[in-house]
Structure 1
Amino acid sequence: MTPDDPPGGAVPAVSVIIPAYNASATIGRQLAALSRQRVDAAWEVIVSDNGSTDRTADIAREWADRLPLRVVDASERRGPAAARNAGADAARAPLFAFCDADDEVTDEWLAHLLRALAEAEVVVACARVESPYSTPERPLYDLVTTLRMPFLPELAFGSSSRLALRAEAFAAVGGFDESLRTGEDVDLSWRLQLAGYHLNDSPDALIVHHHRDGFAATVRQFAGYQRGRRQLRHRYARVIEEFDTARGSAPAAGWETGVVSAAQPAVQPPPSRMGRVMLYLRDGQERSQFTRRTVRSLRLRAAVSLGLFLGRVVGRVDTSEPQVEASLARRYLERERPFAAPAE
């Protein structure tokens, strides 16, 4: 049996699917985290290698003696959506849990997901995102579950880096759309909801999210996000019109800044403003950390803003692709009645 052959034994309860492209610097950290899972169920890990030119596949195979792991060749069709679909095609379990090669799951992530999937068809895990103002002495994080787009806030979405669902639901809507290089997770989440499935948060299923390294990488990332949003806005234009009509207006002010998270702010609250000022006055190390945090935050904000700007002005929207039928939105609105008056 080769390392890429399906392992024997019981059919797994869940397949953990990791799309990977040139992830040799980070995938070992994620696989190490998966090796620490405390879960009482058979499971498997599928690394879906999307044509890496580095040692991603070799590093993943080195974990085959510590994890029920397979590496599948997903190089025939390129892009993250194609890699996830290839992993799903190779999966043997009735449940899928997607995570990324550059993040890090916590020890009970999979156990919490399995408990949530026993009662729900689609589950969104929770990302713990370090604040730019975090320090070793005072760690600060945002906890992010489902997200929303400003132009269709009634339909939440789950990031593909922390989405789990039943295989039958994934198949029912055709998996990820491989024509989308970004926004494929939004599209899948919306298609699932329009088809009658519900997204459910699992705040205990925690993933540590790591920011992209470097200014240029962050700019590229957010430029891609913005291009994806533009394409989604065209694709779902008829759906958006139906929701605007049912709502009676465009979405309320406050959504226009982009993605809005269901985040809980700091895990450990910082000192008061006056308390921070006093720390900076009496402690040179605190002043130095404050300077580094401020520079880091400004760089991140500048990279995000530049990326979003470039995503708006560079590249065209493919208006030739078919738009989602308005009838799906009308059926959803009739079924879910999100704007119905509350019962007396």
Structure 2
Amino acid sequence: MTGGARPVGLVSVVIPARNAERTIATQLEALCGQTYPDPWEVIVVENGSSDGTRPLLRSWQRRMPRLRVAVADAPGVNRARNLGCRRAGGEFVLLCDADDVAAPGWVAGLVDVLRTSPAAGGALERRLLNGPVALAARPPKKAPALLDSFGFLPYPAGANCGFHKELWSSLGGFDESYHGGGDDTEFFWRAQLAGYRLEFAPHAVVHYRHRGDTRAIVRQAYGYGRSHPKLYREFAGAGMPSSRLGEAAAAWWQLLRQAPDLLAAEDRRAALLAQLALRAGRMTGSARHRRCYL
């Protein structure tokens, strides 16, 4: 415990899980190896899986007494997060994903920051679990930090964050209308605009798994892009800057110049297609939400 920091009661870890049979055992093994010494629990929210996720979780409950399983009544990552938060008995709620791997000091690293801050985000390590194609499409940042993709407010990834349950309750939970992107961003933006402080927890490390094949990479990038105009519609009044048409035109021109990469090696092809999908998603989202964000 940090000197002078107040003691903490139960801590709850919430994990949304949809078709996670291949990966969630590795994450649960990682959670079993956490260094945090005080009481904590794990709540996995089964979120409409069609594979063997649910029976696998039942088998893990016999091995991991602190594990509880909840079943969401409909798919959606924010629906699963909200259900997990409602079931959480902890004063602090930590979020991670079923396909990542928490480093041994992850729980302790987030809790240490949450003792003095109502919300926190940890560091994403992107090399351990990802091959060259995934890394080309989403290159790692030079230094770990909170995300800041929009020139507005920072935010953590939903795969590595934590907050006081009281904060979640006061905000009315996660917005379940977000699908495919923006789901974590809008929550932490609302928190900061409501006056809650957000801090970076550098010692809370999650080994983050990207989509591994080009088709999945493109699908995810398109979903991210489609969510950006929705974010702009809801946060422009609070200061989120618009996308500049000149910058968008320059980006499209650069992508067109890179068209030969479509015939290149898979890593270069995936990187180009991911950017094309992101921009196409923004166009679709702009039409859907009637806000131009290209």
Query: Per the shorter chain, which TM-score range?
Result: 0.7 to 0.9
Q: Would you say the 8 A contact 1:48–1:87 is kept in 2? A: yes
Alignment of 1:115 onto 2:112: yes
Q: Could you tell me how far 1:132 is from its partner in structure 2?
A: 5.8
The one of 312, 318, 331 equivalent to 2:289 is 318
Q: Could you tell me how far 1:31 is from its partner in structure 2?
A: 0.8
Q: Could you tell me how far 1:65 is from its partner in structure 2?
A: 3.1
Q: Could you tell me how far 1:319 is from its partner in structure 2?
A: 4.6
TM-score when normalising by structure 2: 0.80
- What secondary structure is seen at the aligned counterpart in 2 of 1:202? strand
The one of 165, 170, 173 equivalent to 1:175 is 173
- What secondary structure is seen at the aligned counterpart in 1 of 2:175? coil
Q: Would you say the 8 A contact 1:61–1:70 is kept in 2? A: no
Alignment of 1:105 onto 2:110: no
Letter in 2 for 1:317: R
The equivalent of 1:157 in structure 2 is 155
Deviation per residue, 1:55-110 (Å, 9 max, x gap): 11211222223321011011x23211101001111111111000001111011111
CA distance in 2, matches of 1:89, 1:172: 13
Q: Would you say the 8 A contact 1:12–1:92 is kept in 2? A: no
Q: Could you tell me how far 1:232 is from its partner in structure 2?
A: 0.6
The equivalent of 1:43 in structure 2 is 40
CA distance in 1, matches of 2:215, 2:163: 33
CA distance in 2, matches of 1:141, 1:306: 19
Letter in 2 for 1:206: V
CA distance in 2, matches of 1:190, 1:117: 17
1:60-71 equivalences in 2 (<5 Å): 60-67=57-64, 68-71=66-69
Q: Would you say the 8 A contact 2:152–2:239 is kept in 1? A: no
Alpha carbons of structure 1 residues 299 and 27: separation in structure 2 relative to 1, 3 Å: farther
The equivalent of 1:217 in structure 2 is 216
Deviation per residue, 1:208-243 (Å, 9 max, x gap): 0011121110001010000111111111122237x7
1:1-344 equivalences in 2 (<5 Å): 13-67=10-64, 68-74=66-72, 76-130=73-127, 142=141, 143-150=143-150, 153-181=151-179, 182-240=181-239, 295=265, 297-314=267-284, 316-319=287-290
Deviation per residue, 1:244-264 (Å, 9 max, x gap): 9xxxxx8xx8xx98xxxxxxx
CA distance in 2, matches of 1:296, 1:117: 41
Q: Would you say the 8 A contact 1:129–1:144 is kept in 2? A: no
CA distance in 2, matches of 1:61, 1:213: 28
- What secondary structure is seen at the aligned counterpart in 2 of 1:156? coil
CA distance in 1, matches of 2:145, 2:267: 22
CA distance in 1, matches of 2:270, 2:10: 40
Alpha carbons of structure 1 residues 141 and 313: separation in structure 2 relative to 1, 3 Å: closer
- What secondary structure is seen at the aligned counterpart in 2 of 1:123? strand
Q: Would you say the 8 A contact 1:215–1:300 is kept in 2? A: yes
Q: Could you tell me how far 1:200 is from its partner in structure 2?
A: 0.4
Unaligned runs of 5+ in 1: 1-10, 135-139, 245-249, 258-293, 321-344
Larger Rg: 1
Deviation per residue, 1:156-211 (Å, 9 max, x gap): 11111111010001111111100111201111011000000111001111000011
Letter in 1 for 2:104: D
Counting aligned pairs with the same residue, the percent is 34
Unaligned runs of 5+ in 2: 1-7, 134-138, 252-263
TM-score when normalising by structure 1: 0.69
Aligned-residue CA RMSD (Å): 2.6
Moved more, 309-318 or 116-125: 309-318
CA distance in 2, matches of 1:224, 1:24: 23
CA distance in 1, matches of 2:22, 2:281: 27
Q: Would you say the 8 A contact 1:124–1:146 is kept in 2? A: yes
Alpha carbons of structure 1 residues 98 and 34: separation in structure 2 relative to 1, 3 Å: same
Q: Would you say the 8 A contact 2:36–2:105 is kept in 1? A: yes
